[in-house]
Amino acid sequence: MTARRAVMLGLGALLLVAAGPAAREPATVRVRLVTSAGNITLALDARRAPLTTANFLRYVDDGRLEGTHFYRAARRKGDPTKGFIQGGIGTDARRILPSVPLEPTSKTGIKHLSGTISMARSVNPNSAHGNFSIMVGDNPTLDARPGKLGYAAFGRVIGGMDVVGRILAMPTGGGREEMRGQMILKRVRILRAERLDGTAKPTGRPKPWLIDLPWRRD
């Protein structure tokens, strides 16, 4: 081996070593949701819920949550200070990305305790995409249990639970079926979602929602 080749191989190895840690997702990834009601800071558990965390971060890194809303406040009948709020892309198909398999709480060990963030989904357990819920008070009925797969919890609020509580208390109405009476009448805008840890990994997919049609403004 020539001296020049040895030097080049050595430099290549150093570059790989230097790039390795930066390419891996941190065990905890913080995300700040900047909303019209105040900021909410999340700590996502990439170690225990890697698929669900990666899914949420795709929406963050692509800017797909920018200009979306918190649109639902589900309050308990017996204690309206408890329940959950829900937000994200709603039914805007222009922002949607392919779903990932469900990571149930029985696998991750992340329970639906107060402050937990969890992916919303339809009847299909593998249908979560760009909508999510934040718990106010414990909601164990959303955890996996015999005969029920539950929902994918993947992190918690570490700042701004007062904002979450204010959103839960906002006037609601409308909605159908399980959402009847739970739609926030004056939705809370998510101005942007900011990744605070790790390196952004945009998908590179088209962003058709950036075409600002006047009749879609609110």
For residue 10, what pLDDT is reported?
41
Position 52 pLDDT exceeds 60: yes
pTM of the model: 0.86
Structural domain contains residue 4:
no
* Proportion of the chain in helix, strand, coil states, percent, rounded to 5: 30, 30, 40
Structural domain contains residue 55:
yes
For residue 14, what pLDDT is reported?
34
Structural domain contains residue 213:
no
Position 215 pLDDT exceeds 80: no
Q: Provide the residue range defining the domain that includes 186.
A: 24-200
Read off the tokens for 110.
């992340």
- Backbone φ and ψ of 128, nearest 5°: -65, 140
Return the percentage of the chain with pLDDT > 90, whole number.
81
How many Å apart are CA 114 and CA 28, to the nearest integer? 18
For residue 178, what pLDDT is reported?
85
Question: Tens digits of per-residue pLDDT, 169-182?
Answer: 999 999 888 899 89
Structural domain contains residue 16:
no
Mean confidence (pLDDT) of the chain? 89
Structural domain contains residue 8:
no
57-86 burial, b at 16+ Cβ within 10 Å, e below that, comes to: bbbbbbbbbbbbbbbbbbbeeeeeebbbbb
Structural domain contains residue 210:
no
For residue 214, what pLDDT is reported?
53
Number of folded domains in the chain? 1
- Label residue 212 by pLDDT band (50, 70, 90): low
For position 121, which CATH number holds? 2.40.100.10
The DSSP 8-state label assigned to residue 180 in this structure reads T
Beta bridge partners of 152: 119
For residue 23, what pLDDT is reported?
54
Structural domain contains residue 19:
no
Structural domain contains residue 17:
no
* Cβ-Cβ contacts under 8 Å for 152 (sequence gap 6 or more): 49, 52, 102, 103, 104, 105, 108, 118, 119, 121, 128
- Label residue 150 by pLDDT band (50, 70, 90): very high
Q: What average pLDDT does the segment 69-75 reach?
A: 98
Question: Tens digits of per-residue pLDDT, 95-145?
Answer: 999 999 999 999 999 999 999 999 999 999 999 999 999 999 999 999 999
3-state SS, 141-165, equals HHCCECCECCCEEEEEEEECHHHHH
